[in-house]
Homo-oligomer: A and B are copies of this chain.
Amino acid sequence: MKAYMFGVDVGGTTVKLGLFRTTGELEDKWEIPTNTENGGARILPDIAGAIRDKLKEKDIAPQDVEGVGIGVPGAVLDSGVVNRCVNLGWGVTDVKQLLSGYLDGMRVEVGNDANVAALGEMWNGGGKGYQNIVMVTLGTGVGGGVILNGRILSGSTGAAGELGHFKVNAEETETCGCGKKGCLEQYASANGIARMAAKRLAAEPETETVLRKLPKPTSKDIFDAAKQGDAFAASLVEQVGELLGKACAYVSCTVNPEAFVIGGGVSKAGPIVTDTIERYHRKMAFHACENTRFELAVLGNDAGIYGAARMLL
Contact = CB atoms under 8 A, between A and B. Distances in A.
Contact of A288 (B132, B158, B286, B288): B158
Interface stretch (A52-60, A163-171, A193-201): A163-171
Most chain B CB atoms below 10 A, which of A146, A154, A162: A162
Contacts of A75: 288
A12 B289 CA distance: 24
A127 to B, nearest CB: 12
Contacts of A257: 155-156
B258 A254 contact: no
A16 to B, nearest CB: 25
A286 B165 contact: yes
A289 B167 CA distance: 13
A288 B162 contact: yes
B286 A178 contact: yes
A287 B104 CA distance: 37
A193 to B, nearest CB: 20
Contact of A167 (B166, B251, B258, B284): B284
A156 B251 CA distance: 13
Contacts of A178: 286-287
Most chain B CB atoms below 10 A, which of A159, A161, A287: A159
A137 interface: no
A138 to B, nearest CB: 16
A160 B292 CA distance: 12
Contacts of A256: 153-160, 162
Interface residues of A, number: 40
B255 A146 contact: yes
Most chain B CB atoms below 10 A, which of A153, A156, A158: A156
A156 B132 contact: yes
Contacts of A285: 165
Interface in A119-147: 132, 146
Contact of A255 (B180, B255, B284): B255
Interface string A215-239: 0000000000000000000000000
A32 interface: no
A154 B149 CA distance: 11
B159 A286 contact: yes
A143 to B, nearest CB: 11
Contact of A253 (B132, B165, B252): B165
A90 interface: no
Ranked 10 nearest A-B pairs via Cβ = A155-B256, A159-B288, A165-B286, A160-B256, A159-B256, A156-B258, A162-B253, A167-B284, A250-B250, A159-B289
11 contacts: A153-B255, A153-B256, A156-B258, A157-B288, A159-B253, A160-B256, A162-B286, A165-B285, A179-B287, A250-B250, A250-B254
